[in-house]
């Protein structure tokens, strides 16, 4: 495996004055090299796809550090392919989605947060931070008033017009677009580099990867994949199709998603659900326990459904399944326990 310092020595150095004019002292890349070296050491025990996530992400970002290392800002390419100038040490960050807030906290960088969105409620400390509207209805005036030197946004939910408006006001907006577990790990790594927390990001993603692998190892033993109906909300009955985090988690946990298909969140009639004969009901609702008992009582009207007959109707916290944050792995482990209790140690 190539030593990071050797890679850095081959990085292009600007000499046309565009980035300061002078040659860059390569010793300023020490932190980048250290982070990359950590990533490579950990990646040696990872499977190939996670090697690619860690090494490619961090080497690319290290290269960008090299290009702008003498200035007070660094140029990063976000997950939309946009090149963003980010302060070398961002101190006033506004998170534009609850999942991003969770990632920043998990990286130990909560002290940089000056604003979050309305439903940023985990960990509990996040609820005390100033709010800038919901992630789909952002308040530009509140964001600007917080004087952020960096906003971190998500493609899934944040209005494009708001991101463009903030950019026009010279506020850097780094956009992420995680759509499965692999890209969630990549997002954690990238945000870690943005916030000078690369080492913590590497250790966190390695830990998450190991937990996913433990689930994979256990599920590999199963001979039967129970039919799972994941019910989102109460009325109408909505479930999760193939292009969702929920589908990926059900499959990894050793179940068969009865709502798989091209529609991300398909609607079902009661008759359609009954015809599917689910062996397990997973129900999530913002209303939590009270509504769950009502829904559970409703499905119990059909005692011949395998899930009812075997008393396998469960309520889960929706935030463990629809937020692309480290807690998605908590959701995976929970699903594995519910779908395959026989695999638990």
List pLDDT tens digits, range 79-94.
999 999 999 999 999 9
Claim to verify: residue 208 and residue 280 sit in the same structural domain = no
**Do 107 and 200 contact (CB within 8 A), yes or no?**
yes
User: Is residue 98 located within the same domain as residue 48?
Assistant: no
The pLDDT of residue 251 is: 98
Residues 230 and 332 in one domain: yes
Average pLDDT over residues 285-298: 76
Contacts of 56 (CB under 8 A, 6+ apart): none
What pLDDT does residue 9 have? 38
Q: Clarify whether residues 61 and 208 are in a common domain.
A: yes
Model confidence at 72, in pLDDT bands (50, 70, 90)? confident
CA distance 284 to 129: 27
Model confidence at 52: pLDDT above 60:
no
Sign of CA dihedral 81, 85, 91, 94: negative
- Show the domain range for 296: 223-343
CA distance 33 to 61: 11
* Final residue before a domain boundary, out of 150, 177, 204: 177
Q: Tell whether 136 and 212 lie within a shared domain.
A: no
The answer to whether the Cα torsion of 106, 320, 97, 127 is positive or negative is negative
- Cα 331 to chain centroid distance, Å, stands at 12
Of 148, 177, 206, the position where a domain reaches its end is 177
Say yes or no: 199 and 65 in one domain.
Answer: yes
Tell me if 297 is assigned to some domain: yes
The CATH number assigned to the domain holding 164 equals 3.40.50.1980
Q: Give the whole-angstrom CA distance, residue 47 versus residue 133.
A: 40
The pTM score is 0.81
Percent of the chain clearing pLDDT 90 (strictly above):
70
pLDDT score recorded for residue 31: 46
pLDDT at position 61 is 52
Same domain, 50 and 123: no
**pLDDT tens-digit series, residues 222-257:** 999 999 999 997 788 999 999 999 999 999 999 999
In a domain, 188, yes or no: no
How many domains does the chain contain in total?
A: 3
3-state secondary structure of 105: helix
Query: Between 198-219 and 30-43, two packed helices, what is the crossing angle to 10 degrees?
Result: 10
H/E/C letters for each residue in 248-278? Answer: HHHHHCCCEECCCCCCCCCEECHHHHHHHCC
* Beta-bridge partners for 154: 176
Instruction: Check whether residue 155 and residue 213 sit in a common domain.
Output: no
| pLDDT interval class at 2 (50, 70, 90) | very low
User: Per-residue confidence at 10, pLDDT binned at 50, 70, 90?
Assistant: very low
């Amino acid at each position: 495996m190539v030593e990071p310092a050797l890679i850095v020595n081959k990085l292009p150095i600007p000499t046309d004055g565009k980035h300061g004019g002078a040659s860059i002292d390569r010793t300023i890349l020490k932190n980048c090299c250290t982070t990359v070296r950590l990533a490579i050491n950990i990646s040696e025990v990872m499977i190939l796809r996670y090697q690619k996530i860690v090494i490619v992400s961090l080497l690319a970002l290290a290269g960008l550090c090299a290009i702008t290392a003498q200035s007070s800002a660094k140029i990063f390419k976000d997950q939309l392919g946009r090149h963003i100038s980010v302060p070398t040490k961002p101190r006033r960050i506004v998170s534009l989605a609850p999942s991003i807030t969770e990632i920043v906290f998990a990286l130990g960088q909560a002290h940089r947060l000056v604003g979050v969105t309305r439903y940023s409620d985990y960990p509990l400390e996040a609820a005390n931070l100033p709010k800038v509207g919901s992630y789909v209805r952002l308040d530009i005036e509140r964001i600007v008033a917080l004087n952020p030197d960096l906003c971190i946004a998500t493609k899934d939910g944040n209005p494009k017009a708001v991101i463009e408006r903030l950019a026009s006001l010279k506020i850097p907006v780094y956009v992420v677009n995680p759509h499965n577990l692999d890209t969630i790990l990549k997002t954690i790594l990238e945000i870690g580099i943005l916030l000078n927390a690369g080492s913590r990001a590497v250790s966190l993603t390695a830990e998450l990867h190991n937990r996913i692998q433990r689930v994979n190892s256990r599920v590999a033993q199963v001979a039967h994949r129970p039919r799972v109906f994941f019910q989102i909300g109460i009325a109408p009955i909505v479930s999760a199709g193939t292009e969702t985090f929920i589908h990926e988690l059900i499959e990894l946990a050793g179940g068969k998603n009865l709502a798989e298909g091209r529609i991300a969140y398909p609607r079902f009639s009661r008759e359609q659900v009954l015809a599917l004969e689910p062996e397990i009901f997973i129900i999530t609702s913002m209303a939590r326990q009270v509504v769950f008992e009502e829904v559970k009582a409703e499905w119990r009207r059909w005692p011949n459904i395998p899930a009812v007959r075997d008393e396998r109707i469960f309520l889960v916290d929706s935030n463990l399944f629809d937020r692309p944050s480290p807690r998605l792995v908590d959701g995976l482990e929970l699903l594995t326990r519910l779908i395959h209790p026989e695999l638990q140690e």
